[in-house]
Chains A and B, each alone.
Chain A
Amino acid sequence: MAAASLIGFGLVVITVSMLTSLLLSGALVRFAKRLHEVGPRAGRRAATLAVILPPLIGVIVSGTIAASSLLAYFAGQDHCLGHGHHLHLCPIHGAQWLSEPWAVAAMAFFGTFVIVRLGQTVWGHVSAQRLARRLRLVGEPIGHYEHTFIVPSDERFAFTAGVFTPTVIISRAAWDALDVSQRQAVLAHEHAHVRNGDLWKRAILGLLACFGAPILIQNALKLWDIASERVSDHEAARQVGKPSVVASAILRLARTRTTNQVPAVAVFAAACHVEGRIHSLFDHPESGSHAAKKLLIVLVLGVGAVALAVASFSESLHHLLETILG
């Protein structure tokens, strides 16, 4: 077995992943409006698929080629012996990849990128956990809710932080600005994030996005963020019984910014589109669960079909990729 063949297979994963991402993220942008109308769960599922599928398909293609190569070799039908004019995508005869500077450089660049991104993400979560703990220490627990605190601050904000122990933080100023039902709406919204595991799911998607088409994959993540906010809005509306209560809470906290009462501390990366969220609560009461389930079925069938197609045409695909890369 040639360890250097991993360079070749790695390049296959990246190439297939980037191309698939280009296709899926492009489709996501194309159908974003339609997904918005169908419901946030469908939008979130579609965005999830646009991020997860490219590396998954890349691994399927690469794995299938490696498996078929090995099977052929052990069956005495080693195809590599028949053509020596290019590099081999083969676990046995793939040692030549190491002598190709461009291939080594590409894998080194990509490997460094993924490792740095992984380090940044892990460090981000560890430090966020530490900061959330600091807020818990000065915070006052809210009723019987777990990991939910009011912190002393004149600025109005409400958020959830911490992947390992998600903590809901609401500022005293925000709490005092809301009426009882609006407070319930805000808590229900944040607890929906915790219940749905949005923080850790987003962390994983952020890492998988390394394998996606630049720029387009960021759009997919943004769509996921917005859809997740809307899912939490819908769950909060269901819990408090009235979408208008959730909408009024969103507006109450959003309004503080126009009066310059919230400085830069309330800025965070994921865009949430206040106006869209409020219209979504009233105009699209369905969360799009059915469509999300259909998308999941499509995913399973799609991945199955891809795996089947790759397995069926593994030999041709193998040669094609060898010709392109080698």
Chain B
Amino acid sequence: MRTRAKSVRPLGTLEERVMRILWRGGPLSVREVNGRLGEDSLAHTTIMTTMDRLYKKGLLSRIKEGVAYIYSAALTRDEYQQRLVGATVSELMTKDGDAAPVLAAFVDAAAELDEENLAKLEALIAERRRSGD
């Protein structure tokens, strides 16, 4: 089975519909996916192009059976969403200084904390909690 690993991008409307079908059940051929679109079925080539694109994005894997490819989801829906979030947050965070106002993180990961300091702070918090602060 062949897959292509690429960075995760948001899905277009048709891509989303195709992925939903394959997340619900697969593996499926292009014809079968198109059949499951029901009243919204489109030209065979449109679905084929879309699925090929999803394969190239690394979201589908495929094997050749005869003359046709059989596709299945390379990632579960949860995995896809996690990767999308990871890629999006990464894009937000790695902006240069000018984008700093875009974000207000609860904890700055750039701050350096060693285990000894953390332990001291934990002890301080525990003490304050005991005294009712």
Chain A residues proximal to chain B, CB less than 8 Å: 117, 120-121, 124-125, 127-128, 131-132, 134-135, 137-138, 151-155, 157-163, 169, 171, 186, 189-190, 193, 198-203, 205-206, 218, 225, 228-229, 232, 242-244, 247-251, 253-255, 257-258, 262, 264-275, 278-279, 282
Contacts and interface: CB of A to CB of B under 8 A. Distances in A.
The residue among B103, B121, B133 with the most chain A CB atoms within 10 A of its own CB is B103
Interface residues of B, number: 44
Given A244-B125, A265-B89, A124 B99 contact: yes
Nearest to B128: A244
A250 B105 CA distance: 11
Given A199-B101, A271-B111, A189 B106 contact: yes
B113 interface: yes
Given A267-B93, A278-B125, A282-B124, A258 B115 contact: yes
A274 B111 contact: yes
A190 B86 contact: no
Contacts of B108: 229, 268, 270-274
Nearest to A226: B108
Contact of B98 (A138, A162, A206): A206
Contacts of B128: 243-244, 247, 282
Contact of A273 (B78, B84, B111, B115): B111
Contact of B85 (A121, A151, A159, A232): A151
Interface string B115-133: 1011001101100110011
Point out which of A158, A193, A272 has the most chain B C-beta atoms below 10 A from its C-beta.
Answer: A272
B107 A274 contact: yes
Contacts of A201: 101
B37 interface: no
| A interface secondary structure, majority | helix
A257 B106 CA distance: 13
B133 A254 contact: no
Contacts of B109: 157, 257, 262, 264, 266-268
Interface of B: 10, 78, 81-82, 84-86, 88-111, 113-115, 117-118, 121-122, 124-125, 128-129, 132-133
A258 to B, nearest CB: 6
Given A138-B81, A257-B113, A250 B106 contact: yes
Main secondary structure of the interface of B (DSSP, over half): helix
Contact of A202 (B82, B84, B100, B115): B100
Contact of A160 (B95, B104, B118): B104
Given A159-B104, A171-B85, A228-B104, A267 B118 contact: no
A124 B102 contact: yes
A247 B125 contact: yes
Given A124-B95, A160-B104, A264 B122 contact: no
28 contacts: A121-B101, A131-B91, A134-B10, A138-B81, A152-B81, A153-B89, A158-B105, A189-B106, A198-B101, A199-B101, A199-B104, A201-B101, A205-B101, A206-B98, A242-B132, A244-B129, A247-B124, A249-B106, A258-B115, A266-B93, A266-B107, A269-B110, A270-B103, A271-B108, A272-B107, A273-B111, A274-B107, A275-B111
Contacts of B115: 258
A261 to B, nearest CB: 11
Contact of B113 (A171, A186, A218, A258): A258
A161 B102 contact: yes
A269 B97 contact: yes
A264 B86 CA distance: 10
